Amino acid sequence: MSEEFELDTNDLTRRMDGAMGALKTEFASLRTGRASASILEPVMVEAYGSKTPINQVGTVNVPEPRMVTINVWDKSMVSAVEKAIMNSGLGINPQTNGTIVMLPIPELNEERRTELTRVAAQYAEHARVSIRNLRRDGMDKIKKAKNDGLSEDDQKIWESEVQELTDSYIKQIDGALENKQKEIMQV
């Protein structure tokens, strides 16, 4: 018999939380026709020789439902902020007024909304695959412990715990996807 086997479920949970966090970040980058400061989170600005998040070169505000503004602190950075937004793939054309960069959020048409729901579904599927890979890692550790002398009853207990954890995260992903798709399709 080997030592008492103990699967690090905290590590598994932490890694699954990371997959959920990545999904939430990807969902935040999908614009839904309403202004949100979170659409700028993935945008990095070339500032002072390094890539910097846009919220570290200016104040991001949402003054009205279809407008995001960035009050750039350093006047020399305005063009870099504009360039970063144009190259980000958000599909938004910035307008500049001194040190304020304005981003008017255009209305989404039905075709674009449907396309965005498909993109959201792809993001969710990537997250599910990540969760399943983590499940497989946990199951592999249990199988290795079985080969090292873990009892069959203990193996089943650990496997069911890993499966329950996996199921709960898959359910969270499905719920997040459903909410995001409703938000995108809302006119």
Q: Is the CATH code 3.30.1360.40 the one for domain 34-104?
A: yes
In this prediction the pTM is: 0.67
Residue range 131-187, pLDDT digits in tens: 999 999 999 999 999 898 889 999 999 999 999 999 999 999 999 999 999 988 886
Residue-wise DSSP of the chain: --SPP---HHHHHHHHHHHHHHHHHHHHHS--SS--GGGGTT-EEEETTEEEEGGGTEEEEEEETTEEEEEESSGGGHHHHHHHHHTTTS----EEETTEEEEE-PPPPHHHHHHHHHHHHHHHHHHHHHHHHHHHHHHHHHHHHHHTT--HHHHHHHHHHHHHHHHHHHHHHHHHHHHHHHHHH--
Per domain, the residue ranges of the chain are 9-27+109-185, 34-104
Question: Which CATH code, of 1.10.132.20, 1.10.357.10, 1.10.260.30, 3.10.180.10, is assigned to 9-27+109-185?
Answer: 1.10.132.20
pLDDT one-digit tens code per residue, 90-141: 778 899 999 899 998 877 788 878 888 888 999 999 999 999 999 999 999 9
